[in-house]
Structure 1
Amino acid sequence: MKEYKVISWSVGLANNNQRLEDTLNEYGRQGWRVVDLDHDRSRIVFERDKNR
């Protein structure tokens, strides 16, 4: 079973590549992987196995 997390990256992450990269790496260390990066809605959708 999968679980999902959606974050908005427009606040504090837009036009700041280092903060965006740090955020993606932090979620990656927690087992999340990006499944969608929506530029129009400024959101990132992550998924991971719920029973990891």
Structure 2
Amino acid sequence: MKEYKVVNWKMGLSKNNEKLEDTLNQYAKAGWTVRHIAENSARIVFERDKNR
């Protein structure tokens, strides 16, 4: 079984790419993988196995 997490990404003007990279890496360390990144709404959907 899978579980999902939706994160709303708040884009800033400075160091936006580094902050996004740090956020993605934090979730990856917790076992999440990116399932989808919505371009217009800045929404990221993560997925992982629920019974891991």
TM-score by length of 1: 0.89
Report the Cα distance in structure 1 between the residues aligned to 2:41 and 2:47, rounded to whole angstroms.
Answer: 18
Q: In the alignment, which residue of structure 2 is the partner of 1:8?
A: 8
| Corresponding pairs, count | 49
- Structure 1 residue matching 2:21: 3-state secondary structure: helix
Higher Cα Rg, which structure: 2
In the TM superposition, residue 25 of structure 1 has moved relative to its aligned partner by: 0.2
TM-score by length of 2: 0.89
**RMSD value, Cα:** 0.9
Percent of matched pairs sharing the same residue: 59
Q: What stretches of structure 1 of length at least 5 have no aligned partner?
A: none
- Structure 1 residue matching 2:4: 3-state secondary structure: strand
Q: For residues 2-38 of structure 1, what are the alpha-carbon distances to aligned partners after superposition, in whole Å with 9 as ceiling and x for unaligned?
A: 00000000x2xx2500000000000000000001000
